[in-house]
Amino acid sequence: MSSPSRMLPATIWQRELVEFLQRRRALVIKLSFPLLIGMPLILGGAPLFSAATALTMLFAVIGAVGSAAVLSRERSTGLALRYRTLPVRPGRLLFERLATNAAIDFLQIVPALILIGIRSPAGFAWWPALILTVAAVLAIGNLLGAVASILSDSPGEVMLFVFVPLLPAFFLSGLFTPFSDPVLLTVSRLLPFSYLHQSLLGALGGHPNLFPWETALGGAGFLVGAGGLIGLFGRRVVEAD
């Protein structure tokens, strides 16, 4: 892989990466977008709870919107059919694609994460949890986008479908108001966004309700769960017309 024009992808993850690197304008926008939104939140003195809320929503949306737009566009251009002719089982195909997309999304977020580290070096105890919960939210977001892409061939409509479950999920994760009600608190612990919110709050120097190890465990659980769900939804997503 010497220069972009000579990069020769033979596997699904290599192809995703090559396409990402060759879309230069999109590459610049994708890499700068989380930083531009994250910078005032992280360095601008915003209340830590609100900054963690906004960053959680940003990371979830980055995960969901990218895969939703790409997969719905592929359905309308006929590329989805080409994928269906590949000698790869649907579950593995979707897993490889979404895992690569989530990894690329993670790369987009790295500059914002570095800013968090610079702003609050004392929050490093939260970093293993932060990395796990970011990965989990990106994986879940990508899966959500992939499932939403079944609903329409129009990327615009698919974006709307992505937000329909996301917005109530953000509320139920306690992103807008900290929950004291035990039922709502339990519900929030069943959603991956609450763990990311907690780890961001911790990494930013705030006072989360959970310990770092609890958050890390939650993140790891959702990451494994996302992997299983992607395998489960593989056939439905890959073979949807």
Partner 1 sequence: MFEVSLDLQAGEVIGLMGPNGSGKSTLLRVLATVDAPQAGTVSWFGRNDRRDPSVRRRLGIVLDQPAHFEQMTGYQNAWFFAGQLGLSGEVAAPRLEELFRWAGLWDARDQRAGAYSLGMKRKLSLVEALVHRPEILLLDEPTLALDYRAELDLIERIQLVSLTGAAVILATNDVHLAERICDRVLFLHQGRIIREGHVPTLLSELAGSKEVELQMHSPVPLENLRALPSVEAANVEGDTLHVVLARGTNPAEVLAVLNGTADLVSTMRVRRPNLGDLFLKLTGVALPAGE
29 binds partner 1 (CB under 8 A): no
Nearest C-alpha neighbor of 40 from the set 51, 29, 30: 51
Nearest distance from C-beta of residue 228 to partner 1, angstroms? 19
Nearest distance from C-beta of residue 205 to partner 1, angstroms? 41
Nearest distance from C-beta of residue 3 to partner 1, angstroms? 11
- Judged by CB under 8 A, the residue of 1, 11, 164, 167 near partner 1 is 11
Nearest C-alpha neighbor of 221 from the set 191, 198, 187, 183: 191
Looking at 9-17, 40-48, 124-132, 139-147, which segment touches partner 1 (CB under 8 A)?
A: 9-17
User: Cα separations (Å) of 51 from 18, 97, 140, 170, 198?
Assistant: 33, 31, 21, 14, 11
18 binds partner 1 (CB under 8 A): yes
Quickly tell me which residue has 């897993």 as its tokens.
95
236 binds partner 1 (CB under 8 A): no
- Show the binding pattern over residues 88-127: x = contacts partner 1 (CB under 8 A), - = does not: xxx-------------------------------------
How many chain residues are in contact with partner 1, going by CB under 8 A? 25
Residues 71-90 that bind partner 1 (CB under 8 A): 77-79, 81-82, 84-90
Quickly tell me which residue has 């892989």 as its tokens.
1
CA-to-CA distance for 234 and 150, rounded, in angstroms? 12
CA-to-CA distance for 233 and 18, rounded, in angstroms? 25
Alpha helices in the chain (DSSP H): 12-22, 24-43, 48-77, 79-84, 90-119, 127-148, 155-172, 182-189, 192-203, 212-238
Which residues bind to partner 1, rule: CB under 8 A?
A: 5, 7-12, 14-15, 18-19, 22-23, 77-79, 81-82, 84-90
